Homo-oligomer: A and B are copies of this chain.
Amino acid sequence: MNSFGNIFRVSIFGESHGAAIGITIDGCPPGVDFAEPDMESDILKRMPGAAGTTPRKESDIPEILSGTYNGKTTGAPLTIIFRNSNTISSDYDKLRTMPRPGHADLTGMQKYKGFNDPRGGGHFSGRITLPLVAAGALAKKVLKGINIQSRIVTIAGKADYSGILEEVIAAGDSAGGVIEVKMSNVPAGLGEPFFNSFESCISHIVFSVPAVKGIEFGSGFAAAGMRGSEHNDSIISADGKTATNNAGGINGGITNGNEVVFRVAVKPTPSIKMEQQTVNLETGQTGSLIIDGRHDACIALRAPVVFEACAAIAAADLLLINRSYSL
């Protein structure tokens, strides 16, 4: 079930402290220029470094194992891996007994009957978004002409967040944020009716990313408080351009040729340095926990390029599906 997409299909694998993490992209058209350097700028955007991001530094160097030849995609499955190197697994030993609040420590054990890899969150780690970003770099090339941009809307509830973020870091606490993604030059007609609406596919992959709590398109939750006369976007040209964009570029689940806009709510990193309450699974007693390890105080800071990748992968799949329709 770790696959997404029908034609341009990605399958992800790996654990935070295992040998490697990676992704296979199936159904990519042949002849797309793609080599390791093409992923570099997106991978850098996801890298920690700024205040509020983890001190764990991985080299994050992709290796393409298959699916390219002479610097172009072949049409065969394309697999990219990243070796894990900078792992300190001893940090995680106690989490088997004392599951961290807000993490998948306990649900992972419950689901997999204790056989899951607990080190660094295992397959539940945010590190798994790295291969997603790599696949996003390829998807963006498949979407040539479509422009995808992202930005931080708020951190800790503030658009101007640098001061509050310092406070959060100093307190050993963590902060959430809202990220916005915009896609321009999206052709009209992408998205399948009903179960594979454009929003369905985008939201599906976005909620794969750990820490996401909500998503909204165009006017989003504000739409629920609006009247139809306010919300409807007047159509101003025969190709579907609208005067406003409450629709977020999508009508009836299908892109309408206007800018696609969505926003994602990211929760505060659950790993904080402050004392928390959890249960000791051996004794069944509650107790306090202090997490050491190396963590982002605000994972939202590194998330924009991840959601760009989500948008690109979902859109590439829907673009390829849509192409099959023209007899």
Contact = CB atoms under 8 A, between A and B. Distances in A.
Interface string A165-207: 0001001011111100000000011011111110111011101
Contact of A20 (B66, B232, B286): B66
A107 B26 contact: no
A136 interface: no
A12 B267 contact: no
Contacts of A217: 213-214
Interface stretch (A41-49, A53-61, A117-125): A117-125
Chain multiplicity (copies) = 4
Contacts of A87: none
A275 B81 CA distance: 42
A266 to B, nearest CB: 6
Nearest to A73: B115
A277 interface: yes
B74 A117 contact: yes
A279 interface: yes
A306 interface: no
B277 A110 contact: no
Contact of A265 (B223, B256, B300): B223
A321 B324 contact: yes
Contacts of A174: 227-229
A277 B235 contact: yes
B26 A2 contact: yes
Contacts of A119: 69
Given A1-B26, A107-B252, A203-B207, 12 more contacts: A1-B196, A7-B324, A12-B195, A15-B66, A75-B112, A81-B81, A101-B232, A154-B224, A176-B231, A200-B205, A226-B268, A235-B278
